[in-house]
Amino acid sequence: MTADTATTTRYRGERRWTPRNVLLVVVGLLVGALTVFPLVWMLSGAFKTVDEVNDPALIPASPTWENFTYVFTQVPFARYLLNSLLVAGAVTLIALWFHSMAAYALARLQFPGREKLFAAIFATLLVSLPVVMIPTFLVIRTLGLLDSYAGLIVPAIFNAFGIFLLRQFYISLPPELEEAALVDGASYWRIYRSIIVPLSRPILAALAVFFFLANWNAFVWPLTITSDPDLRVVQLGIALFQQQYASDWNYVLAASTVAALPTLLVFFFFQRQIVESIKSAGFK
């Protein structure tokens, strides 16, 4: 039997309603429903009027689209969405690229001081945000990146989490992978591009989801380094509806619902990649 057919039987078999599967589906849906419950309430709150937004009823008495209209007409929410898209998208793309390169070198290339360098990179994971925030702010200011897209994007790229995860993935790939290519005289860059990256699709897809979400949900950093209203990201936009004493929760909920949609789309798209990309690794 070839590896390919094994993979196929494992991942593309029919999804039948066997008793075991029924049990699993019921368990899955039950846990899923519990997990989604708070979100459903957010969704329903987004359609409630200000009169009933604190009412625990799940179904709005008189559902309205008005909150959404308000969110888009009262503040430039589309602009905030676009800013977040730009920032989160750029960070995700660059970070995936840089981290996969670094992780490849740390996992599969031989060079002196490799383990020490990895330890140093890993150690940067151990910082606690409240104590490095002010020094980081100083660095950003010294580099002239305050109040700019670069200030939102560049510092967010560098995070040892992705490097560590990819390294753990790469060290478990069989060593024979590169050997044939090396014998054929391929460069390391070529091996990285044509062998390693295609093989890492599941893990890169998972990381893409993490990076995108983490940056889409970023609040403290954008709040700390931007003043220009044109640079506001979506989470700052949501905070605008929280007034000093009384918040307009129906607008906050509508804005949060709108903000959740792109992240859900990203997840729907990438979860297939995470699971189905095993096909491309089938020759292992």
Partner 1 sequence: MTLALSRTAGRRAPAAPATKAQALRSQRRAAFWFLLPDTLGLLVFVAIPMLLSVLLGFFAVDGFGNISFAGVDNYVRMGSDPQFWRSVQITLTYLVVLVPLLYVVGLALALLVQQRIPLVGLIRSMLFVPYVISLVVVALVWEFILGERTGVLAQLLAALGIEGVSFLGDPTLALGTVIVVTLWFQMGYYMIIFLAGLQDIPGEYYEAARIDGASAWQRLLLITMPLLRPTSFFVIVTATVSVITGGLDLIFVLTGGGPAGSTSLLIYFVYEQAFLFGDLGYAAAIGSVLTLVLLAWTGLMFAVTRGGRFDHDS
Partner 2 sequence: MTTSLSRRDALRVGVLGTAAAGLGLAGCSSGSSASSPLQFWQQYAPATQTEPNLVAQNDWFLDAVARWQQAGGRPIEPVFIPAYTDPTNTRLATAFASNAGPDLFLISPGDFLRYYNGGVLEDLTPYLDDDVVEDYYPEALATRTIDGRIYGLPMEQEPLAIFYDVAALEDAGLSEADLPSTWEDMLELGRRLTTGQRAGLVLDTTPSYYQNFTFYPWMWQGGGEVVDPGTQRSGFASDAVVQALQLYSDSVSTGAAPRTLPAAGDVVGAFRNGFAAMWQTGVWQVEAFAQNAPDHEYGVLTLPTPPGGEAVTSLGGWAFVVNSKGRDPEAAAQFTAATIGSMSQESIDAGVQWNGVGKGNIPARRSVTEAIGDTGAFENPWLQYFRDEVLPGGRGEPRYPPPVLKAVSNAIQAVQLAGADPVEQAETAHRAIESYLVTYEGAELR
Of residues 231-270, those binding partner 1 (CB under 8 A)? 235, 238-239, 242, 249, 252-253, 256, 259-260, 263-264, 267-268
Q: Does 78 engage in binding with partner 1 (CB under 8 A)?
A: no
Nearer to partner 2, 162 or 274 (CB): 162
Q: Does 184 engage in binding with partner 1 (CB under 8 A)?
A: no
Candidates 7-15, 74-82, 100-108, 202-210: pick the segment binding partner 2 (CB under 8 A).
74-82
Q: Does 48 engage in binding with partner 2 (CB under 8 A)?
A: no
Q: Least distance from C-beta 228 to partner 1, angstroms?
A: 21
Nearer to partner 2, 217 or 224 (CB): 224
**Residue 76 binding partner per list partner 2, partner 1, none, with a CB distance cut-off of 5 to 8 Å that depends on partner kind:** partner 2
CA distance 126 to 120: 10
The answer to whether 100 and 206 are in contact (CB under 8 A) is: no
Q: For the stretch 240-250, what's the b/e string if a residue is b when 16 or more beta carbons lie within 10 angstroms of its beta carbon?
A: bbeeeeeebbb
Read off the tokens for 28.
């899955």
Q: Least distance from C-beta 229 to partner 1, angstroms?
A: 18
Of 182-211, binders to partner 2 (CB under 8 A) are: none
CA distance 2 to 200: 21
Q: Does 230 engage in binding with partner 2 (CB under 8 A)?
A: no
Q: Which among 96, 121, 86 has a CA at the least distance from the CA of 218?
A: 86
Q: Does 50 engage in binding with partner 1 (CB under 8 A)?
A: no
CA 102 to chain centre: 19
Q: Which among 229, 221, 215 has a CA at the least distance from the CA of 75?
A: 229
Read off the tokens for 19.
């008793």
Q: Least distance from C-beta 116 to partner 2, angstroms?
A: 21
